[in-house]
Structure 1
Amino acid sequence: MCRIDKSNLTIRGVNGRPKIDAAGMSSQGKAIWVIGGNNVVVENIEMFGASVPDQNGSALRLEGTNFTLRNSFLHDNENGILSGVNTASTIVLENNEFGYNGYGNGYSHNVYIGKAGRLIFRFNYSHDANVGHNLKTRALVNTISYNRFSSLRLGETGSTKAGKPSYEIDIPNGGTTSLIGNVIMQPVDGTNRNIVAYGEEGIAGYATDLYIVNNTFINDERSRGTFIMVGAEVKTSVVLINNLFSGYGQQVTQPSAIKRTNYQATSVNFVNKAAYDLRPLIIPQIVNAGSEAGYSTDGTSLDVDFSYRHIASADARIVLGARKDIGAYEVY
């Protein structure tokens, strides 16, 4: 357990992935590693067992400016990652697994990003948060792309214990946000009917443009569910393009949302849903049926370039027809 204040530092596990078991200990009563330096990169580590008296013990506590985590596995902590307010900071999380983090009180999560300048969250597998959210971010700008958010089914075994997350993704204050090419699955026994939440805690000081493009949403709840819950203060129209919705529930709560070439069915047929092969079987309404997504208000392309590959990776998305298919995967 330590505090790291050196800047421009890369920490990389070699000869396998080192395992760091905090066994209930912490640095400064905060985390396994408290990152105080700027421009720190951490690669290929496994961290677990963080616990502190205030029930907020993290594998990584971010207190510097700019941080990157790659190819790592954070699990069984009271928080996986926790960061504070730093609008000058860009946080990049890519090719990681986050599982069964959270104290169990709903206030701690797999990943909890405070008011950072930008979050880039891509190619990750975030699952089984212990009552909290699989991802919670208050960053001003969020790019959340080509990830899988899910939880173990009843009786299923995996890399961690089964959790009962609240939201799969929570963006409580809004911000310029794109969700592109993700697989987002709500378990049958989750603790919240909403799958993605946006702007529900107040939006003062934040932009409110949300773009949801080429995602595959699956709700395994049979009697309730809302895929995207938008706070009442959000007046900018949410944009939904080329999304595949499988299961019961309202697509989006905002009446003014802009919807283009999305598809929903009570039960979409996938190649092998039980084994999480979530490429859809041929459905005429989704094959070559996608629209061009265009750009966000800050000029960022909303086009889909990759498909999530398990575990915590991605493949280039190869378009077979004249237009992209609807959802996170092309139909082969």
Structure 2
Amino acid sequence: MSLTGCSRTDLLNLVAARDSRYNQQMVDDLFLALDNNHKEDLKSLFAISVIDSNENLDAQIDELMEFYKGPKESDEGVRLISTSEHMGPGEDRLEIYNSFTVTAGGIKYHVSMKMIAINEENRDEEGLRMLEFATEEAYESKYFSWHFIDDDIHGVYVKTSPEKRNDVMVVEKRKVKYTPVNRTLTETDFLKYVKNNDSFSGLISTIGEANADWINFGFYYFELSNKLIVVCNVEDEKIKYLYVANEDEELYTLWIPDDMIKVHGSYNAYTFVDRELTEDVFLSFVKTSRDLKELHDKIGPPTVDTSFYSYYQLPDGSFIGCHHAGYKVKEIFIADSEKRLNTIWKYEDK
């Protein structure tokens, strides 16, 4: 296929169409094998590297075929979910992730697939890596998680239980891969450490590795002896702040440095300004101007400044929040450390 003269949009459309074909072909081949009870055909869909390395694959496929009651009657949203692609001479690699729902034998199944469609460096990696089926009861559980959160696990998995898995931690309703660590931890252990040190590597040396992480956003999770969780946010190997959470929500701040503050549910860099502000200062200002720079010239810099919001601390510890775009104030509201409380002014384009 020649791409000469293709616009960027045309090229993206071609790539998306290619990825969808890979995905749909795998789904069709999967259910053709399942509906005809052809174990070897299903096994052949897996990458050679998975077949060679997973000694339990045959037993896993047998369990799936016993569990699945075909033939497939209908499917909902069998479509591409996400891809990961690396391109280079002789190094093209395309991973496809998908999850969807099918009905077979009057039973609703939730299905997840992970496959490598292209791997020019190692063709033995091409094929299914992970295939998972779940019942409705298991899928609707607060503890449900697909296995592909762990890149080291390959094969076939059937989930019928709503119970919590021992390799998954739930923090603020987010599921993360869990590793048990044999130790006794309390909040005091963290408070003693950050009293004199903000080095994250030093913390790990002192108390041991985290039980789980959300590393893309710098979050590390430590399970306490009382089953609550200390959440440690890290940037450039420095501890930014600590708070305590349970499975459903953040409970309270454990530690925050003097140059940070929590406002509107987020932890941000803090600028102290010695002044006393009231709501009337802002309401009076917007009668004649919406210019954010002019507001700063008049009352000084905000306590917290983000891309679209500026916050100014009031004497009672609450905040005036200014929502702005293009240095024009769009809305003024009251907030506390956790949430927005109420709007006191909003721009109306007349």
More strand by share: 1
**TM value normalised by structure 2:** 0.27
**TM value normalised by structure 1:** 0.28
Work out which of the two has the higher radius of gyration on C-alpha atoms and give 1 or 2. 2
More helix by share: 2
Q: With CA pairs under 8 Å and 6+ residues apart, which has the higher RCO, 1 or 2?
A: 1
